[in-house]
Structure 1
Amino acid sequence: MNTTYLRIELARVGRDLVSLFFIAVLPAFFFVIFGVSMGYGAAAIGNGNASMYTMISMAAFGAVTATTGVGGMAAVERMQGWGRQLGLTPMSDTRYVSVKATVAFTISLIPIALIYLIGAFTQASAPGWVWLASAAIVMLGAAVFSLYGLIVGLLFRSEAAVGAASGALVVLAFLGNIFIPLSGAMLEIARFTPLYGIVGLARYPLTDGALVSMEGVGGNDPLWALLLNVGVWTAIFAVGAVLLVRRGRSRQ
């Protein structure tokens, strides 16, 4: 990996204060509103409480927003000519991808660390292993959405499109049962959306798969169903990215 290029990329992303606000501050604000300030935050849920449940949800939302943005901009750079510029340097495609992946992973740590820090100093409660396991699953799950960002960047070749893709995550987060507990037909639809499996897996150490609704805790998401959701959407995003990369090469 080219450490110099990695440092430049991290500095460039760090200067984009507007993007950092939506990546880190906005999910943290949502957590404060829906997880810290609400009276039900101390209510018991599984191996912890409701505040912990909301904290995991908001950390996942912030992390996928981060990886979507970095993945999308990497694709736009390649399609707009940056790839030809890099071709004049000794840097290989593998190194370029590894740098971008490292940048996406690093940026995704910002909302996770900030939200978990707020949770630690407020009323989020769970055993230590739940904190560690949920954070690790959030980080791994967020990597899937770097492929989503990559697809959007390759498909539309526009920074505005990448911004729209990040904005569309709000809709996917709602459908993914992140912002408010869904029930009935909406819950059945949600089970087929790309964020549902990732967030469900991140919550699993806390809830053991139990579903939370406005009426309380009831129902269950089997572990295999959550893994299947993540596996299928990862495959869809990966195949889509490969096909779009090949299409881009055929046009050059």
Structure 2
Amino acid sequence: MKTLTKLEILRTLRNKKFMFFSVLYPSMIYLLFSTTQDTDADVPGTTLTVQAFLMVSMASFGALTAVLMGQSERIAKEREKGWVRQLRLTALPGRGYVLAKIASAAVVTLPCIVVVFAVAALFKGVRLDAWQWLALTGAIWAGSLVFAALGVAIGYLTSGDAVRPVTMIIYFGLSILGGLWMPSGTFPRWLQDIAEWLPTHAYAAIGQAIEMGRAPGGQDVAILVGYFALFCAAAAWLYRKDTLKA
């Protein structure tokens, strides 16, 4: 398992195009969104300025992009090429494969988060205490592992031809409904009730709580932990049951 984890991390770091896109894309989106908004306005239902709200949202969105989009397509291609079939002939357990994939995804998310924070501080004047910067980085990084596990599951659930459209639907659906692009407080009441149980909503809410100097909500933490366990279990089960031939 350790050998596979190291291999997966090295493969990710060597993919310079993927690393470049994953690290810079969310900061570019942040600059685009924040430039068109009123800097001094507060987000409804919070004490956060638009710039601070968007910083956490776009850092979370960027981490989601890196781990979900890259994971699912890469795994689907590996299945088609027969690489995963060879791994199943070894003693590697399903949980070992899933954890190796999650570890490789975690390598990408950290620089992605740091770059968004740096852009927000340097160009948009976002100011937080030192503990908040550290807590935000750790919370968003740890939360991204939930979606890394989801990416592994999607990669096993779909074929190489279908993986991209399926991933895009899930990716944009979770991003929009979870409140990463706009405050969920602006949604109709019935949609807010649905959004509260989505992993992306809990993911963003934890970061926003830290920005406001509060401890993350227990429900949000429980939701993320529950989804992480669910996605890991599903990914491990699909790995063991996969019968695709090389």
Residue 194 (1) aligns with residue 188 (2): no
Higher relative contact order by CA 8 Å / sep ≥ 6: 1 or 2?
Answer: 2
Q: Distance in 2 between matches of 1:125 and 1:153?
A: 39
What's the CA shift for 1:107? 1.1
Change (3 A) 1:236 1:96: closer
Correspondences of 1:44-83 after superposition (within 5 Å): 46=47, 49-80=49-80, 81-83=82-84
Q: Kindly report which structure 2 residues correspond to 1:34-113, keeping only aligned pairs within 5 A, or say none.
A: 34-36=33-35, 38-41=37-40, 46=47, 49-80=49-80, 81-85=82-86, 99-113=100-114
Would you say 1:237 and 2:231 are equivalent positions? yes
Residue 114 of structure 1 aligns with which residue?
115
Partner of 1:216: none
Kindly provide the amino acid, as one letter, of the partner of residue 116 in structure 1. F
Deviates more, 1:121-130 or 1:136-145: 121-130
TM-score, L = length of structure 1: 0.77
Distance 1:54 1:141, change over 3 A: same
Q: d(CA) in 1 for partners of 2:176 and 2:192?
A: 10
Q: Deviation at 1:224?
A: 1.5
* Contact 1:64–1:145 under 8 Å retained in 2: yes
Could you list the runs of 5+ residues in structure 2 that have no partner in the other structure? none
The answer to whether the 8 Å contact 2:67/2:106 transfers is yes
**Correspondence 1:93-242 to 2 at 5 A:** 99-122=100-123, 123-158=125-160, 160-162=162-164, 164-166=166-168, 168-183=170-185, 184-207=189-212, 223-242=217-236
Maintained 8 Å contact 1:24/1:114: yes
After superposition, the Cα gap between the structure-2 partners of 1:156 and 1:124, relative to the gap in structure 1 and judged at 3 Å, is same
- DSSP 3-state at the match of 2:184: coil
- Is the 2:76–2:163 Cα contact (8 Å) retained in structure 1? no
- CA apart distance, 1:153: 0.6
The 8 Å contact of residues 146 and 228 in structure 2, kept in 1 or not, is answered as: yes
- CA deviations 1:168-222 (Å, max 9, x no partner) are 322211111111112333222210112111111122211356xxxxxxxxxxx97
User: Residues 27, 41 of structure 1: CA spacing in aligned structure 2 closer, same or farther, 3 A cutoff?
Assistant: farther
* Structure 2 residue aligned with 1:10: 13
Per the TM alignment, residue 102 of structure 1 is displaced from its structure 2 partner at its CA by 3.2
Closer, same or farther in 2 for the Cα pair 1:5/1:60, shift >3 Å?
closer
Q: Distance in 2 between matches of 1:247 and 1:84?
A: 11
The question of whether the paired residues in 2 share the 8 Å contact of 1:147 and 1:241 is answered with: yes
Deviation larger for 157-166 or 141-150: 157-166
SS at match of 1:40: coil
CA deviation after TM superposition for structure 1 residue 229, in Å: 1.7
Question: Residue 192 of structure 1 aligns to a residue in which SS?
Answer: coil
After the TM superposition, which of the residue ranges 93-102 and 199-208 deviates more from structure 2? 93-102
The number of equivalent residue pairs is: 235
Shift of 1:66: 0.9
Q: Is the 8 A contact 2:157 2:238 kept in 1?
A: yes
Tell me if the contact between 1:27 and 1:62 (Cα under 8 Å) persists in the aligned partners. yes
Secondary structure at the counterpart of residue 170 of structure 1: helix
Cα distance between partner residues in 1 of 2:167 and 2:206:
23
- Contact 1:74 1:150 (8 Å CA) reproduced: no
- Compute the displacement of 1:36 (Å): 4.8
